[in-house]
Amino acid sequence: MRYEPIGRDLFIKNRERFSHQLKPDSIAIFHSNDLMPTNADGTMAFRQNNDLFYLSGIDQEESVLVVFPDCPDKAHREVLFVRETNEHIAIWEGHKLTKEQVTEISGVETVYWTHEFVDRLTPLMAQAEFVYLNANEHSRANCEVQTRSDRMNAQLRQTFPLHKYERTAPIMHRLRYVKSQREVEMIQRACRITEKAFRRILGFVKPGVMEYEIEAEIIHEFVRRGSRGHAYSPIVASGRDSCVLHYIDNDKACKDGDVLLLDFGAEYGNYNADLTRTIPVNGRFSQRQKAVYNAVLRVMKEAKQMLIPGNTFQAYNKEVGKIMESELIGLGLLDATDVKNQNPKHPLYRKYFMHGTSHSLGLDVHDVDDRRIPFEAGMVFTCEPGIYIPDEGIGVRIENDILVDEKAPVDLMANIPIEAEEIEELMNA
């Protein structure tokens, strides 16, 4: 692996916390993601199922984790199945994990080959009453493609129709919502790599450069520092495209006088960073561009101070909306009287700030969460207000990653340039 060993203590603790949430006589099963095909004999880069990774640290295809806390045989209370290698696989694909390496990474002592899964699982199922199945239940998921978990879950239900089936998602979402110290360290590492990439492109951007050239500079810095690449498709949007929220074409020339919105983040050890900055293509903001930029920055600074234990998404977003209204009035984009008389269900600021201010961050960029509960220490959120004015060709978004802490919010991107004057200084150094 490119990333440093995370340490099995994290995964042992995660399994303990998960096991305590299960009903008596329950068995839980987690399958790795598929290797996804492209065309002909091509495949996409493998990305592990995040729940399986969270509980085991195993980052290899065709892996299965079985957790059975009440199993009479202590050796089978935690079991991992991994792909058995051979000389042909070693030559064509390279090294696969040995059983000893699986135990070293995960802390799971009992390891079998994946082809043994059905034979080993059958006697365990006979001793279980409840079966917890894993599936992608993210609130934003659009699952048009059947996953390995979906296929295996369907087969299990057909083979063992009389068991009582439960969902792992409510438990996993609640556990993963609050990060451990080691997880925060991994996110922080991804943030530091992201910082290096941003500083690199501050010295690279100029009128005439192509957006995809900037994207190339970013991925160069990511890979050379141990990241496997982008945490998500990067946005490199100049001019009017800075107002397109999910612009990923990155195929235009950056023009003198335009702003450039950059939304990107590094992945490190399956954990993610998520950064947004808006910079002037020619190295100097116009008066209007700087006014919009500083308005967004003021909202962001006030918003991140509200990411504290006990606050809720509902109260947080309501207060951010009020702050944004004030800034938009100051920019001449909204009228104070109109705001006073607006329909509260359809606030006017949404014309210029139409997305949420924050989302959970971790193994997923839009990480799983439980928005019914108040914020707690250990949660990590983005903080990303924006103002988008298509008629002026100005889109400004500023985003940092924030750790909720008992004392005060911790900005994991505090070292990344954010003030307009500092950005201009670095671009003209």
Residues 288-301: tens digit of each pLDDT? 999 999 999 999 99
Among candidate residues 76, 182, 199, 366, the one labeled active-site is: 366
Does pLDDT of 97 surpass 90? yes
93 annotated active-site? no
Average pLDDT over the chain reads 96
* Catalytic option among 151, 157, 224, 355: 355
Annotation marks residue 338 as catalytic: no
Tell me, yes or no, if 355 is annotated catalytic.
yes
Which of 274, 327, 364, 424 is catalytic? The answer is 274
What number is the average pLDDT over the span 16-23?
Answer: 98
pLDDT value for 142: 83
Asked whether the predicted pLDDT for residue 106 surpasses 90, the reply is yes
Could you give the percent of the chain with pLDDT greater than 90?
Answer: 93
Give the residue, 240 or 87, on which the prediction is more confident.
Answer: 240
Q: How confident is the model at residue 88 (pLDDT cuts 50, 70, 90)?
A: confident
Place of tokens 């493998």: 46
Residue ranges of the domains in the chain? 8-176, 181-427
Which pLDDT belongs to residue 301? 98
Residue 276 has pLDDT above 90, yes or no: yes
- Whether 388 is catalytic is yes
Of the candidates 217, 384, 401, 411, the residue annotated as catalytic is 384
Catalytic, 359? Answer yes
Active site residue 95: no
Residue 94's pLDDT is 82
Give 214-242 as a DSSP string: HHHHHHHHHHHTT--EESS--EEEEGGGG
Contact 264, 234 (CB under 8 A): yes
**Cα(61)–Cα(33) distance, rounded to whole angstroms?**
7
**pLDDT value at position 143?**
81
User: For this structure, is 138 an active site residue?
Assistant: no
**SS3 labels along 356-393:** CCCCECCCCCCCCCCCCCCCCCCCEEEECCEEEEHHHC
The alpha helices in 107-254, defined as continuous H runs, are: 117-125, 148-159, 169-177, 181-202, 211-224
Q: What is the pLDDT of residue 95?
A: 84
Whether the pLDDT of residue 91 is over 80: the answer is no
Average pLDDT of the residues in 153-180: 97
Angle subtended at Cα 197 by Cα 196 and Cα 198, rounded to the nearest 5 degrees = 95
Active site residue 384: yes
What mean pLDDT do residues 337-359 have? Answer: 96
Q: In this structure, which topology does domain 8-176 adopt according to CATH?
A: Creatine Amidinohydrolase; Chain A, domain 1 (3.40.350)
- Give residue 16's pLDDT: 98
To which CATH superfamily is domain 181-427 assigned?
Creatinase/methionine aminopeptidase superfamily (3.90.230.10)
Element (H, E) at 260: strand 259-264
